[in-house]
DNA sequence: CAGATACGCTACGGTATCGTGCTGTTCAAG
DNA sequence: CTTGAACAGCACGATACCGTAGCGTATCTG
């Protein structure tokens, strides 16, 4: 069995961190397509040679940087679907308004349209961002708040889709009124006590 | 008063059409960022000099081509919100699945994030694509099918957002089941006879 | 302290892009 | 037929980018 505890080497860590930080900065400022290795090297002070020592290609670096984009979301537990949804959507709206990754997403979607590796990264990102929604809806189903036959994915598509639509398509303000309207509509649409269609 | 009826000149029309056609092709295949004037010239047979005679810059050509993307949507009139919505969303889902502009949209959103001219073009495109939805909801409000105080934009965000979400984010199948679920949820959420929240 | 390792610097080679001149040719209009 | 407009083809300059190579230096580890 080989030595498992490898020595980190400060220099490597330092270079990697500087490169990733600058990549992240350019990413959120210029979008995925307009990130340049030369510019990363210039701005970060890390030699281009060193960059290619740690990442085999530009694509690898970009995918590595992108996969660290989304933050970890706290899953609320207010014991009601309405409360949980409001918390989740308020947080998501806040991030869409202020977080830097919000400006990067379209360029990722664009690249994912034609690049398999990017598509896989985007799928993983999407899964991790949306998992709190699945959990919240499953718990609501367990409490009998929504029809057990309703597919949670449809609900997720409507509530998350509404926010994404406002952020990138209609450019409508992502304020409290909007979030509340979405929450109320979603809760009312699939509450278990409404007459079956 | 100067001569108003200008001669079209076949040659000019022919060149413009060929360039726009090839631009459109590259656009839907490679996305907005990866359209090259040199390549357009090669593939269309129109000299690069001529291209720059008709469009002052690459950006102008791209915006011109993009603004011709969306088709004109037929506004249904089934006398019920449910019927109208189903028709609209079925059509939109079909286009999202097959139309070539569907693959271009992310690159437009990306460019719009940083380019004012693209943003204006995208706003106009969005308005023209979404106007049928506004009309349908306004008519439903006139018939008393939805609460008159409900803002149609919220409903539009939910139904259109759901489809966009499925197309570009979750990559879920845009089939009849999905469309029906969205329609039913939207109708049920804001029907006028549900108890006020 | 000494060896190993990571690093910075500089310079490539190759490709792609935009936008512009210049020259000669084709085509439409009068 | 004549004339002028629109065209193609080609070359150019400038810029930017990727990924690699050589060489000397700084830094970490043992």
Q: Which nucleotide comes closest to B55 if you measure CA to C1'?
A: C19
**Å separating the CA of residue A38 from the C1' of nucleotide C11:** 14
Residues of B in contact with A155 (CB under 8 A): 185
- The confidence score (pLDDT) of residue A6 equals 59
Tell me: pLDDT of B192 over 70.
Answer: no
A134 touches chain B (CB under 8 A): no
Using a 10 angstrom Cβ sphere, with 0-12 exposed, 13-18 middle and 19 or more buried, the burial of residue A140 is: buried
Among B190, B63, B65, B169, CA closest to A169: B169
- The confidence score (pLDDT) of residue A196 equals 43
Tell me: pLDDT of B151 over 80.
Answer: yes
To the nearest whole Å, the CA of A44 is away from the closest chain B CA by: 23
Which B-chain residues 55-84 have CB contacts (< 8 A) with chain A?
Answer: none
Which A-chain residues 146-185 have CB contacts (< 8 A) with chain B?
Answer: 151, 153-166, 168-172, 178, 181-182, 184-185
- The confidence score (pLDDT) of residue A195 equals 46
Residue A138 is encoded by which pair of tokens? 């499953």
pLDDT tens-digit profile, chain A (197 residues): 333 455 688 999 999 999 999 999 999 999 999 999 999 999 999 999 999 999 999 999 999 999 998 777 889 999 999 999 999 999 999 999 999 999 999 999 999 999 999 999 999 999 999 999 999 999 999 999 988 888 899 999 999 999 999 999 999 999 999 999 999 999 988 775 544 44
Tell me: pLDDT of B177 over 60.
Answer: yes
Tell me which residue in A33, A154, A160 faces B33 most closely, judged by beta carbons: A33
Tell me: pLDDT of B143 over 60.
Answer: yes
Q: Answer whether B162 sits within 8 Å of A161, measured CB to CB.
A: yes
Using a 10 angstrom Cβ sphere, with 0-12 exposed, 13-18 middle and 19 or more buried, the burial of residue B99 is: middle
For testing contact with chain A, the best of B131, B170, B184 (most A CBs within 10 A): B170
Question: Given the structure tokens 């005679």, which residue do they identify?
Answer: B53
CA B197 to chain centre: 34
Which A-chain residues 110-129 have CB contacts (< 8 A) with chain B?
Answer: 110, 112-114, 123, 126
Tell me: pLDDT of B4 over 80.
Answer: no
Beta carbons of A161 and B161 less than 8 angstroms apart: yes
Q: What is the mean pLDDT of residues B81-98?
A: 97
Interval B45-84: pLDDT, tens: 999 999 999 999 999 999 999 999 877 788 999 999 999 9
Q: Answer whether A185 sits within 8 Å of B190, measured CB to CB.
A: yes
Count of other CB atoms within 10 angstroms of residue A49: 8
Number of residues that make up chain B: 197
- The confidence score (pLDDT) of residue B2 equals 39
Q: Provide, rounded to the nearest whole percent, the portion of chain B with pLDDT above 70.
A: 93
Tell me which residue in A106, A160, A182 faces B106 most closely, judged by beta carbons: A106
Q: Answer whether B169 sits within 8 Å of A171, measured CB to CB.
A: no
Interval A91-144: pLDDT, tens: 999 999 999 999 999 999 999 999 999 999 999 999 999 999 999 999 999 999
Q: How far is CA B176 from CA A161, B4, B70, B99, in A?
A: 18, 51, 22, 17
Residue nearest to nucleotide D5 (CA to C1'): B9
Rounded to 10°, the helix A152-164/A81-98 angle is 30
**Å separating the CA of residue A146 from the C1' of nucleotide C30:** 79
For testing contact with chain B, the best of A85, A89, A107 (most B CBs within 10 A): A107
To the nearest whole Å, the CA of B146 is away from the closest chain A CA by: 12
**Å separating the CA of residue A43 from the C1' of nucleotide D23:** 24
Question: Does B48 contact strand C, using a CB cutoff of 7 Å?
Answer: yes
Residue B196 — very low, low, confident or very high, per pLDDT cuts 50/70/90? Answer: very low
Q: What is the mean pLDDT of residues B99-118?
A: 97
Residue B11 — very low, low, confident or very high, per pLDDT cuts 50/70/90? Answer: confident
The sign of the CA dihedral A49, A55, A57, A60 is negative
- The confidence score (pLDDT) of residue A2 equals 39
SS3 for B57?
Answer: coil
Q: What is the mean pLDDT of residues B109-119?
A: 97
Question: Does B12 contact strand C, using a CB cutoff of 7 Å?
Answer: no
To the nearest whole Å, the CA of B1 is away from the closest chain A CA by: 43
Beta carbons of A137 and A146 less than 8 angstroms apart: yes
Q: Answer whether A189 sits within 8 Å of B194, measured CB to CB.
A: no
């Amino acid at each position: 069995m080989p030595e498992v505890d490898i020595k980190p080497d400060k220099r490597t860590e330092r270079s990697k961190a500087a490169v990733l930080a600058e990549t992240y900065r350019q990413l959120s400022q210029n979008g995925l397509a307009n990130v340049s290795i030369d510019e990363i090297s210039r701005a970060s002070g890390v030699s281009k040679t060193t960059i290619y020592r740690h990442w085999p290609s530009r694509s690898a670096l970009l995918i590595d940087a992108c996969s660290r984009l989304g933050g970890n979301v706290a899953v609320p537990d207010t014991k009601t679907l309405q409360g949980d949804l409001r918390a989740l959507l308020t947080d998501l709206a806040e991030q869409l308004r202020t977080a830097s990754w919000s400006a990067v997403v379209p360029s990722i979607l664009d690249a994912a349209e034609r690049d398999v590796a990017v598509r896989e990264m985007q799928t993983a990102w999407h899964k991790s961002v949306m998992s709190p929604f699945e959990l919240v809806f499953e718990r609501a189903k367990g409490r009998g708040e929504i029809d057990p036959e309703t597919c949670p994915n449809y609900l997720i598509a409507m509530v998350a889709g509404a926010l994404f639509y406002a952020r990138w398509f209609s450019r409508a303000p992502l304020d409290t009124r909007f979030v509340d309207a979405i929450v109320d509509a979603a809760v009312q649409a699939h509450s278990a006590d409404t007459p079956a269609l």
